[in-house]
Amino acid sequence: MMDQRVTEAFDALRAHAAGVKKQHLRTMFEQDHDRFPRFTAEACGILMDYSKSRITSDTVKLLEKLAAAAGIEARRDAMFEGEKINTTEDRAVLHTALRNRSNSPVEVDGQDVMPDVNGVLAAMEKFTDAVRDGSRTGSTGKRITDVVNIGIGGSDLGPRMVVRALSPDASPELRVHFVANVDPADMHDTLQALDPATTMFVIASKTFTTMETMTNARAARAWVADALGEASVGAHFVAVSTNAKEVSAFGISTDEMFGFWDWVGGRYSLWSAIGLPIALSVGFATFKELLDGAHQMDRHFQTAPIGQNLPMLLGLLRVWEIDAMGSSSIALLPYDQRLELFTPHLQQVDMESNGKGVMLDGSPVVFGSGPVIWGSPGTNGQHAFHQLLHQGNRIIPCEFLLAKTSRSPIGDGHQKLIANCLAQSEALMRGKTEDEVRAELTRQGMSGEALEALVPHKLFTGNRPSITFLYEKLDARTLGAVIALYEHAIFVQGTCWDVNSFDQWGVELGKQLALPILEELTGGKSGSHDASTAGLLARVKN
């Protein structure tokens, strides 16, 4: 059952939305010259401009009331303090402890977790330094030149995204690759250019039982053993896992297993030993800067008043767009090629966390629940799906991420990137009126029926909301802060909707579903299927 106060707060927002929907953002900007300072906030070097959201000052007040009714601050504090807020798995939720650079004690079941966190960080540092300085070699004594991370989902997307985003910090002497898909093409194509003698595999799996990861890990093991002999395997494999028993059974010494804990959710695990490929790529000092940036955002989230709190504002504005204004998807549009994997990572964090149909007490969700998250970097998207953002009959709130300076400037490319990003949000907001279209076509020499026929096609309704995050440059510290900002915003949304943002039974289901069909494919007895599945299975077998 939804709490009565929360229900009332949502009802008030919806009633207020009916009035806001009648206004146009263009007019709101024309009438209020303070709209930009009024609706911007800043923390950790990130400016959040939410003035192009379809809101008024009353909207913010009503969202603050919703936050109070939903008890967001109390639940946030419970999370940071190690309470078992993941009730369906009876677990604490402490990715924030992994980046707790102030090192203040964080207790789970009366036990401070910080000594263990620091112990694993120290082991990661030692290993990272040894691989990077060449003292930790492969079995033949040759320096390691390539690391392959084998993992999937939370054990892949986060570190893969960060390694790509921080490529200017990467060592040119150590290339880091990622294999996730059980499709052998993934492993095949990755191994093709590699030499077993100079390759190190990181098997990253919280459970160490995931079908895809274990299949790929066994394939990699065979590749090394075939080339260098069975005795060489140990020198070319390390594990990141919570399951020491399965790691040993696979043949990796637990001395070279980097542990983490059940209170680290997969999609929140890049801050743990799952971040080992990041540290290998950019070095441990830079990995620590990533943690520092996230920690600064954690502190901001814990202490800033709601109206100046970036994760609170982002989460609440999304709830507003979804529940009161009727949006069902959000386009996440980094104007940064090196953030090309940011949206896929956030898609997992968001959709796996809040894609839920029931509230904490098991009753069906009453409000919202997770939106569809999609998008890809600008300016590429402008030449593709932005058409629908500008003229489609669905309003899709957009979130832009933009750095003021490029880490790899060439000519005036970055200025053009900025110009395009700002032009997109302006055009989405303003639109183009019939009069403006007519004037434009007239200037181009058109008139009469031909001009009138074209007007509706060149009309842009505008009033399409967006939020822009602007920061100096995409370094490790900023990236850490941006990821943490999004993690917490997702938590804020889940709290408003009263869902458990930290379980993932839909993903667990996927881990079981294929097993009986696999058995049939490999000669086991036939199961009972619908006609479509049975027909496809028969075709595959023939």
Residues with a catalytic annotation lie at 352, 383, 511
Nearest distance from residue 153's CB to ligand G6Q, in Å?
Answer: 2
Instruction: Tell me whether residue 144 or residue 270 sits nearer to ligand G6Q (CB atom).
Output: 270
Report how far residue 54's alpha carbon sits from residue 429's, in angstroms, rounded to the nearest whole number. 9
- 400 alpha-carbon distance from chain centroid: 14
Report how far residue 87's alpha carbon sits from residue 225's, in angstroms, rounded to the nearest whole number. 44
Structure tokens at 300: 């901001």
Nearest distance from residue 100's CB to ligand G6Q, in Å?
Answer: 20
Structure tokens at 200: 């190190």
Kindly state the DSSP code that residue 153 receives in the 8-state scheme. G
Report how far residue 5's alpha carbon sits from residue 400's, in angstroms, rounded to the nearest whole number. 33
Q: Please name the amino acid found at residue 366.
A: V
For residues 332 and 389, is the Cβ–Cβ distance under 8 A? no
Instruction: Tell me whether residue 278 or residue 467 sits nearer to ligand G6Q (CB atom).
Output: 278
Structure tokens at 507: 């993903």
- Footprint on this chain of ligand G6Q (rule: CB under 6 A): 152-155, 205-207, 210, 213, 265-267, 352, 504, 507
Residue nearest to ligand G6Q (CB): 153
Nearest distance from residue 450's CB to ligand G6Q, in Å?
Answer: 55
End-to-end CA gap in the chain: 52
Closest CA to 336 of 286, 407, 412, 423: 407
Nearest distance from residue 209's CB to ligand G6Q, in Å?
Answer: 7
Which residues, in sequence order, are CB contacts of 541 under 8 Å at separation 6+? 521
Closest CA to 274 of 337, 338, 213, 360: 213
Nearest distance from residue 199's CB to ligand G6Q, in Å?
Answer: 21
Instruction: Tell me whether residue 231 or residue 509 sits nearer to ligand G6Q (CB atom).
Output: 509
Which residues, in sequence order, are CB contacts of 416 under 8 Å at separation 6+? 379
Nearest distance from residue 210's CB to ligand G6Q, in Å?
Answer: 3
For residues 101 and 293, is the Cβ–Cβ distance under 8 A? no
Nearest distance from residue 181's CB to ligand G6Q, in Å?
Answer: 13
- 279 alpha-carbon distance from chain centroid: 19
Cα-based angle 167, 475, 330 (whole degrees, multiple of 5): 90
Instruction: Tell me whether residue 208 or residue 335 sits nearer to ligand G6Q (CB atom).
Output: 208
Other Cβ atoms less than 10 A from the Cβ of 4: the count is 9
Instruction: Tell me whether residue 154 or residue 465 sits nearer to ligand G6Q (CB atom).
Output: 154
Structure tokens at 309: 């709190």
Report how far residue 217's alpha carbon sits from residue 238's, in angstroms, rounded to the nearest whole number. 11
Nearest distance from residue 349's CB to ligand G6Q, in Å?
Answer: 8
Instruction: Tell me whether residue 186 or residue 292 sits nearer to ligand G6Q (CB atom).
Output: 186
Instruction: Tell me whether residue 71 or residue 344 sits nearer to ligand G6Q (CB atom).
Output: 344
SS3 49: strand
Nearest distance from residue 14's CB to ligand G6Q, in Å?
Answer: 32
Instruction: Tell me whether residue 206 or residue 386 sits nearer to ligand G6Q (CB atom).
Output: 206
Instruction: Tell me whether residue 207 or residue 337 sits nearer to ligand G6Q (CB atom).
Output: 207
Report how far residue 98's alpha carbon sits from residue 264's, in angstroms, rounded to the nearest whole number. 9
For residues 65 and 327, is the Cβ–Cβ distance under 8 A? no
For residues 149 and 156, is the Cβ–Cβ distance under 8 A? yes
Residue with tokens 């549009």: 333
Structure tokens at 163: 């390694």
For residues 180 and 151, is the Cβ–Cβ distance under 8 A? yes
